[in-house]
Structures are given as structure tokens and as C-alpha cells.
Amino acid sequence: MKIEAVQFFARQAWVEGTWAQDVLLGVGVDGHWSQVLPGATDAQRADAVVLSGPVLPGVVNAHGHAFQRAIAGLTERRGSGTQAADDFWSWRDRMYSAANCITPDQLETIARQLYSELLVGGYTQVCEFHYLHNALSGGPYAHTAEMSMALVRAAQHTGIGLTLLPTLYMRSGFGANGLREDQSRFASTPQSIVRIVEDVQRQAAGDPRINLGVAIHSLRAVSPPALKELVAYAHQAGLPVHIHIAEQTQEVDDCLVHTGQRPIEWLLNHVDVNARWNLVHATHTTRDELVGIQAGGASVVICPATEANLGDGVFDLPGYATVKGAWSIGSDSHVTRRWSEELRLLEYAQRLTHRKRNMAAQCLRNTSSAAALLEAALAGGSAASGQALAGIAVGQRADFVVLDTMSPALQGVPSDHMLDALVFSSPDARFSAVHVAGQTVVPQDDAGFAPAMRALWGG
């Protein structure tokens, strides 16, 4: 990927948590912001490319499973039988039906479609929590990173930034000795995860949009010694670490039965949970656990649309804000693919729970709920991705989107309320342009997506 130095001019841009006017934006040859100058004069901006609307920073999608895009909209019917339960665990069984039939070519096609949709939704980096490692038979591919490289190629094709997180998955639950038959494609060891990381690093060398981290699927899926072994490698290699944790009450209950401690409590007591750590969901927490996460410098990844879709519960945003905890946003199963919708759902869940309005503005100490949510998501996104993606500031990667002010949600809206309308007014506002590392990307639907879906599900 060749990056060229360029200057942009925006009449309005989101800088340091507020709208700035007449902003000159310089991009260096490294794809990072070299200059951010509000109040630029006509002479200063004479040679700059003029942007057509208000400019917002690109947002990190801090948690996703690309293959699950293939089942979006296909799990919304109750199982047969009047007494059939429908919860996270029954959804998981349906999700496995996709996991166990997708080939590398199909995964690349699905990811191309998804990543284009994420770009349209304002995301410029995605953290791929990837545990679909093995062949359809359950055995390893000849090339360990076969499925991982399908995701890398999809990211390179669409232009989105990618933090690939090869995921350790070893057992079906607490106390189990191994995986279920329908989980065989997930099988991995600390050594196999390291091989994938190093293989992808070699193959993607030279592309600054692609970087690596590691993930532990969950405490129930990994033994403590294996967890500690992979974390030690990540620390030595300087990689971010992600883990699903405390998403479901059953998971909390099972952890208590087998360890005598809650999941986050166990993690805090047995591992150095530091700034490399990103705890995905953390839906069911105590105040002491929230204090412990913040004290170690770790972050939480909140996925409001998926957590609502699966009936997980509501994250304690006010409690976490009280201890000034860091967090980012993710779309997880990709039932929605716009950050504005994730932030809207996060706020609305708090309003429904507490029966008050503008909860984010109140607990995050801002006059605007949209501004409070966006600023927090930007700050947490850098930790999740392992990239400098904290907004429009010198030294950060030059990722940004341009608002289309002709969108129905924005027409007639005062300029200083553009972000509020983007997040809380429907239908969703559009972005007229998307830039990654200062370079224009043009999201396009993948022509192979519909045939791939028909091959998987018929119709």
C-alpha cells in the first residue's frame, strides 16, 4: 500500500471532543496526521483538497466474527415446540451450523461484504476475533493460517484496517477435557496460535493497515496454564489481548461452581490484567471487578446490538464511568454494522434500565450524550486495535469520514448538533467519503456474496 502526503480542508471537523471550524488537515507519508490546524486562513489552505462536509474520525470496531455475518437475520425465529427455550446457548448451536460449513473462499467473500459494510457504517478498523482455524473435517489445513489469510485478503481488498486476533479455543466448558465434535474447527493450542500470528506477520509485512494480537475465547474454553502461556507470549511480543468474559449469567454461575470465583474476579486474581487487555462484553460485573479492570489499565469492549440480540443483559455504564474505566465498541455478530447504531443502543439500554434521559452525558460528564459516547469509543479503540486511532490529532492514523449533509437525518440541523443527529436521528445519516490512513476507500458490495449465501443456505 503506497501512501502519499496530502492536505485536506474541512469547514467543520471533530477535534478534541468538539466541532472545530476551518480545519487544515495534513497527512504524512506514514498515513498519520502531521498537522491539525483549526482556523486556517485562505492562504494556508490554498492547495488543500476541500472536503464536502463535516469530518469525523474513523472508529475502531473492536470486536467481530466475520463469518457470523452469514447468519444475520437468519436466527430470529423461535425453535420448534411450545416449550422450546431460545437464548444465547440455542443461538450458539445455530451459529455452529455456519461455522462448520464455510470454506476459506466463502469466508473471504463474506468478509469482503462485511468489511465494505463496516466502512459504509463509519468503521475504519476492525478487530477480528478469529477462531475458525481448521478444515471442514476438523483437521488442520496444510497452511496453518489458511482461514486467517482469507480475512487479511478481504481487508486488503476493501481497504479497511484489520487487527487479526487468532483465538485460543481448547475445551467445550469448565471441567471438560476437550471440544465437542461440532467445535473441532476451533481447536488450537498456544503454539498453533503463535504460528498463525507469525505466519500472518510474514505474509502481510509491509501493509501498515494489518496488525496482530491474540485472543482467549473465554475462561470456560481455555485451561489456566494455556491461558498464561499465550498471555506471556503476547506480553513479550507487545500484542493486545482480548477475551470474551462474563457475557452470560450461566457463564458466571459455571465459573463460580468450578473455581469458586466469578470470571472477572478469577482473571484479576490470577493474571496481570494490564493495558494490553480488552475484556469483551463484561456484561455481568460487580463494582470491585470494575474497579479492578480500571486499576490495571485494561479496557472493556461493549457490543450493544449483539448483547441485545442474544439477550445477554445491559453493561453497567454508569458504574464503570464512576471509576473512569476505558471502553470501546464492537459489532460482534454483525446484526448491525454502523457505529452510530451501536452507540444509540448503548445509550437507550441505559435509559430503559434507569428510566432517565442522556445517561451518557450525565455519567461521562458531557453536555452531549453523542459526544460523550464517541469520545470514549475513540479512546478505547486504540487499545483494542493496537493502533494509533484515537481521533483527529497529530500522530494518530489519518482515518476519517465525511458526513453527507443531504442525508434526511441531517437536513436543517444546526452545525453544532450534527453528531447528535447522526447518533440519535433516523434514518441513519450517510457518509459521502471514507479515508483510511489518509487514502480514499470506496466500499462496494461484493458480487460473490449473494451466491455464497445461496450456496450455504439455499434460496
Q: Write out the catalytic residue numbers.
A: 281, 332
Q: Identify which of 320, 214, 231 has the alpha carbon closest to the alpha carbon of residue 270.
A: 231
Determine the residue type at 420: D
Cα–Cα separations (whole angstroms), residue 350 to 278, 422, 428: 22, 19, 21
C-alpha cell of residue 71: 447468519
CA distances from 456 to 64, 97, 152, 187, 335 (A): 20, 10, 22, 23, 18
Q: Is the peptide bond before 225 cis (omega within 30 degrees of 0)?
A: no
C-alpha cell at position 43: 492562504
- CA pair distance 373, 304, nearest whole angstrom: 12
Cell numbers for 65, please give them.
466474527
Cα(224)–Cα(15) distance, integer angstroms:
43
Bond from prior residue into 54 cis (ω within 30 degrees of 0): no
In terms of DSSP bridges, do strands 6-15 and 18-27 run parallel, antiparallel, or are they unpaired? antiparallel
Contact 303, 332 (CB under 8 A): yes
